[in-house]
């Protein structure tokens, strides 16, 4: 088909490889970074970007010919479909849980569906897509990642819409979480389908464990490409995951953003936001309690018989594991075999009604760096996020 520009894409495990077409005359295409509760809780991300495509996804031929009309449609056999609302189905990989597509039922278009691709699943967005606005910021209750990603080079300041484009704006620093500074005993979290529910408790003396103390610093704090490995190894056992760092009393957990290739291709999002929580502080509903009761027990990941039902595991690299919801595909955790007692918890899971999506009463956001910014699909987004974090740190 003439007038189309094709871009390849895939998930991390390679079970799903595809290509999509964009109308060349519309490029670069302006897209939303959506903060709605559905996008956040189906993906586990603080916000999610989909890009509308021309027609339906296509298979990736072994010897692609530009505009070849004989290329078959992409086969969805390797994907799980999740109906997030009456007219919308989201598709994620059955193996690595990467969100790849969103389909909107529309009888007025050929095939009956309007397709959109997850921006983070593409091989390139350069000259193809521009994240140009924040939408549905009102669902965050505190501005969410829009307070961190304020502008992007080549695009400028990003409008912050209460709902869809053209709706009233949400000012910087907006916050309507009444209970944010209150004495909240548990910070609750859930995926969109509610198959997975968690709660995080406040740090205690037990949150500083000798096993965890051997944990190396994350790339978020010290860039692995430029830091002496002996420093990264954390030889003095600094409990870096607890905050505030300048206070002897730890009441929060460190949180930050990552743009590494693995996070991107296992989620479909260009930015993965994590908080670092000891396993001892992560709770799940008691399996013996009545369904209406709020009784919590410690999370177990190592014993199959005690793992939460509906939690699916993906071995993203040797000794590294990612856990997601098998029903809606939301990214929940990352952890490694050498330090099983310290978990990267996906911030998009958090119940925004308790403390807002950034959960600032519980989380201390690292503002000095975006983790693995060197691997970012869009370096303009990574650099824009870093600049916005500096302004956020200065309350500007």
* Integer Cα distance of 355 and 357 in angstroms: 7
Q: Which of 380, 362, 377 is nearest to 149 (CA)?
A: 380
Coil, strand, or helix at residue 144?
A: helix
Radius of gyration of the chain (CA): 21
- Tokens 């509760």 correspond to 37
* Integer Cα distance of 47 and 228 in angstroms: 34
CATH number of 4-157: 2.170.150.70
Q: Is CATH 2.170.150.70 the classification given to domain 186-393?
A: yes
Domain spans in the chain, listed from the N-terminal domain onward: 4-157, 186-393
HEC secondary structure over 36-98: CHHHHHHHCCCCECEEECEEEEEECCCCCCCCCCCCCECCHHHEEEEEEECCEEEEEECCCCC
pTM of the model: 0.94
Which pair of tokens denotes residue 241?
């995951």
> Residue 1 — very low, low, confident or very high, per pLDDT cuts 50/70/90?
very low
> Residue 71 — very low, low, confident or very high, per pLDDT cuts 50/70/90?
confident
Average pLDDT over residues 315-320: 96
Please give the full DSSP string across 355-378, using - where no structure is assigned. Answer: HTTTTTTTEEE--S--BTGGG-S-
Q: Do domains 4-157 and 186-393 have the same CATH topology?
A: yes
Q: Quote the mean pLDDT of the chain.
A: 92
What is the phi/psi pair of residue 122, to 5°? Answer: -85, 155
Sheet with 296-298, strands from edge to edge, namely: 186-190, 197-201, 282-285, 296-298
Lowest-confidence segment of 109-113, 215-219, 252-256 by average pLDDT: 109-113
């Amino acid at each position: 088909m003439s007038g189309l520009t094709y871009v390849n894409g895939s998930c991390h495990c390679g079970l799903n490889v595809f290509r999509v077409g964009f109308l060349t005359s519309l490029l670069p295409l302006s897209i939303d970074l959506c903060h709605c509760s559905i996008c956040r809780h189906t993906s586990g991300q603080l916000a999610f970007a989909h890009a509308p495509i021309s027609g339906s996804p296509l298979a990736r031929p072994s010897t692609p010919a530009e505009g070849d009309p004989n290329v078959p449609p992409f086969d969805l056999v390797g994907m799980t479909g999740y109906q997030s609302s009456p007219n919308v189905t989201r598709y994620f990989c059955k193996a690595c849980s990467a969100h790849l597509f969103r389909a909107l039922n529309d009888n007025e278009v050929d095939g009956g569906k309007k397709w959109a691709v997850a921006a983070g699943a593409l091989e390139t967005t350069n000259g193809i897509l521009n994240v140009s606005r924040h939408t549905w910021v009102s669902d965050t209750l505190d501005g969410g990642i829009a307070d961190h990603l304020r502008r992007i080079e080549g695009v400028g300041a990003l409008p912050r819409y209460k709902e869809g484009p053209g709706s009233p704006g949400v000012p910087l620093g907006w916050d309507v979480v009444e209970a944010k500074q209150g004495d909240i005993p548990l910070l609750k979290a859930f995926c969109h389908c509610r198959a997975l529910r968690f709660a995080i408790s406040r740090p205690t003396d037990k949150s500083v464990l000798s096993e965890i103390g051997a944990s190396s610093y994350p790339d978020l704090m010290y860039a692995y490409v430029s830091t002496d490995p002996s420093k990264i190894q954390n030889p003095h056992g600094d409990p870096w995951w607890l905050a505030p760092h300048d206070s002897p009393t730890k009441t929060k957990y460190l949180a930050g953003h990552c743009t590494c290739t693995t996070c991107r291709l296992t989620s479909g999002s260009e930015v993965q936001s994590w908080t670092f929580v000891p396993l001892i502080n992560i709770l799940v509903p008691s399996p013996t309690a009545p369904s209406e009761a709020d009784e919590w027990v410690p999370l177990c990941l190592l014993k199959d018989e005690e793992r939460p039902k509906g939690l699916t595991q993906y071995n993203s690299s040797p000794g590294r594991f990612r856990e997601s919801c098998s029903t809606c595909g939301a990214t929940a955790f990352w952890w490694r075999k050498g330090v099983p007692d310290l978990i990267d918890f996906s911030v998009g899971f958090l119940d925004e009604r308790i403390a807002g999506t950034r959960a600032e009463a519980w989380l201390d956001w690292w503002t000095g760096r975006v983790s693995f910014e060197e691997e970012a699909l869009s370096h303009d987004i990574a650099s824009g996020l870093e600049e916005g974090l500096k302004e956020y740190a200065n309350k500007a």
